[in-house]
A and B are shown apart, each in its own frame.
Chain A
């Protein structure tokens, strides 16, 4: 499609989807349409200001307006945002620097526990002072602190990366990631740091009474629950905005170039004067920092953290977002996070509900030569239970048909269908030397 045509189509689709979402805030299709338009905003390559405006209109007007009738919208988009920050962080480590990290959920855990321990009564188990710390100003302080604890843990887990490569590094990071979870699980004795498998709850949230007045002015019945939904939604959007900005800046900086250089060719990178030690640790620390801050926000949003949230499966899910979106690509990481989150918490569940509905109503599918009564459908068939299987299938299909991801990084596009020319011999007689 021509650039102009596609942007007009996108604008119309955005308005239609937005209006539909306002009209039917609880049904799935308008939501999918809105998310589809956001996808479009991320995938198209031209009319940047207009695409940005469309995305902003959806995120700051249509979704919040519909969300006041259906807080699930806030929940969904907030979760997407939290995962988007993590996939952007992991994208730096895996996508840009080419270091396969299978323990990424550990940094999320560190960030979450950073606030959970001090934002609840937990800290009084091992130190004196009055806990929980009040949400203002300490939540923000600890969210900032989580950036640092995340980065520090990232550096620690990155240390083995200095000597290991590829699969070996993946195995070690997998192990270290599990160490963090196991520590969270077992540090309830001899001194109770983490409260073990029971987890920590309740966790303080930042006060939001300042939001109630403006919400009432907008004609909303501002219950605290709704206000918190909106608050975390906006907070995550703001943090994502910052994270994307930092990523774009890093991508174009000498750090970004150094990361890509060590991914492409370590020996050449060293010959350029790039220190492998510093560059790899920087990648690990930067990637972990984004995860850390989102961990702290996650803890406050959920009011509860436990080691179960930070399993290997979580790390793999984030990795799948990066791979699905396109390794090394910032827009890809965002799209991947949206797609996987949507798949996990909305699409499969809706499909299950749909099948259950067909079974209960005894719907008969008539294909002329054969017919099938859905009342006979086994109640074992429930897509939500096969989430991982379907998910795996999608990944396999992706690897076959679009191995560089939904939005491949510019630097990776070359690989698609073209032979590697890096080592070609000169045959075309291009002139060399001073002309």
Chain B
């Protein structure tokens, strides 16, 4: 029996003004999976995540979370249901300390003991953040800021983690380390929907993948199969 279906998008369409960004996207994420959404710039990858987390209201179609419709809910209601979003461009709070950033991640959790415990887990995953807990977020390096952005999303203890371009702007050695971290998260049972430009890497660690092109899903399937498709290799893997 396949693992439980967590998230399901059915024919989701979305617009920014007159720009038709998503033209009917359907995908699903099951518990414990890393699913990656790859595609070129402007294909609608971030828009898909923004629709899921409620930052953008879809124009039509439905988004089901554990079988219940969540499209049309406010972002904070969706976070409360267990979907954590680490948005594009990291968006940490540069004026707040590392610790304050993490505390904000656990905004909806009122139990301080649980917050402290999760913070401990994040510090275990990213020891660099523990060293810099009193430092302002803006003074961190790009890699550390990315750790903070992921750590902050993990503070929500989400059942599904939406990661938008976590490797953007990182040095190659940091990209390697980041993907190792994502695999470590996968091993402890986290479910991740990963949006990446770095398609080769994403396909290495994901179980399943979707290819998005100008608002339409063109390919889907197991990550290994997609990585071997000639068109994918040509278009996204640079071979």
Contact = CB atoms under 8 A, between A and B. Distances in A.
Nearest to A279: B76
A271 B180 contact: no
B141 to A, nearest CB: 4
A223 interface: no
A412 B96 CA distance: 9
A261 B127 contact: no
A431 B128 contact: yes
Contacts of B53: 271
A245 B152 CA distance: 30
A21 to B, nearest CB: 40
Given A260-B96, A268-B87, A427 B138 contact: no
Interface stretch (A8-16, A73-81, A108-116, A417-425): A417-425
Contact of A434 (B84, B139, B176, B181): B181
Contact of B143 (A412, A432, A434): A432
A428 B171 CA distance: 9
Interface string A234-275: 000000000000000000001001101100110111111111
Given A432-B147, A433-B178, A264 B75 contact: no
B169 A254 contact: no
B42 interface: no
Interface in B140-173: 140-147, 152-153, 156, 169-171, 173
B138 A429 contact: no
A429 to B, nearest CB: 6
B143 A421 contact: no
Contacts of A434: 125-127, 180-181, 184
Contact of A271 (B79, B137, B145, B177): B79
Contacts of B92: 268, 422
Nearest to A258: B107
Given A257-B107, A264-B93, A434-B181, A426 B174 contact: yes
A432 B178 contact: yes
Nearest to B168: A425
Contact of B87 (A267, A275, A428): A267
A424 B139 CA distance: 9
A190 interface: no
Interface in A265-311: 265, 267-275, 277
A425 B176 CA distance: 16
Interface in B59-109: 74-76, 79-80, 84-87, 89, 91-96, 100, 103-105, 107-108
A421 B174 contact: no
Nearest to B97: A411
B108 A273 contact: yes
A430 interface: yes
B55 interface: yes
A435 interface: yes
B181 A430 contact: no
Contacts of A426: 141-143, 146, 169-171, 174
Contacts of B28: none
Contact of A414 (B94, B100, B144, B169): B94
Contact of A257 (B91, B100, B177): B100
A414 B95 contact: yes
Contacts of A277: 74
B55 A424 contact: no
Contacts, number: 142
B177 A432 contact: yes
B181 A432 contact: yes
A435 B180 CA distance: 10
Nearest to B91: A268
Contact of B93 (A261, A430, A431): A261
Given A424-B141, A424-B142, A426-B143, A270 B75 contact: yes
B136 A414 contact: yes
Contacts of B153: 271
A269 B96 CA distance: 12
A411 B141 CA distance: 18
A425 B169 contact: yes
B104 A421 contact: no
A430 B147 CA distance: 11
B107 A271 contact: no
A124 B227 CA distance: 83
A171 B171 CA distance: 45
Contacts of B137: 422
Contacts of B180: 433-434
A261 B95 CA distance: 9
A261 B137 CA distance: 13
Interface in A187-215: none
Contacts of B105: 272
Given A270-B76, A271-B75, A432-B146, A411 B95 contact: yes
Contacts of A265: 91, 93
B28 to A, nearest CB: 22
A430 B152 CA distance: 19
Contacts of B174: 426, 429-432
A409 to B, nearest CB: 9
Please name the 3 residue pairs, one residue from A and one from B, whose CB atoms are nearest each other, closest first: A426-B142, A433-B177, A273-B79
Given A257-B100, A271-B55, A434-B181, 10 more contacts: A257-B104, A264-B96, A267-B91, A268-B91, A270-B54, A273-B80, A420-B138, A432-B143, A432-B146, A434-B127
24 contacts: A261-B93, A265-B91, A267-B87, A271-B55, A272-B104, A272-B152, A273-B76, A274-B107, A414-B94, A421-B94, A421-B139, A422-B137, A422-B138, A424-B142, A425-B142, A425-B169, A426-B142, A427-B171, A429-B143, A429-B171, A432-B143, A433-B147, A434-B126, A434-B181
Interface of A: 254, 257-258, 260-261, 264-265, 267-275, 277, 411-412, 414-415, 420-435
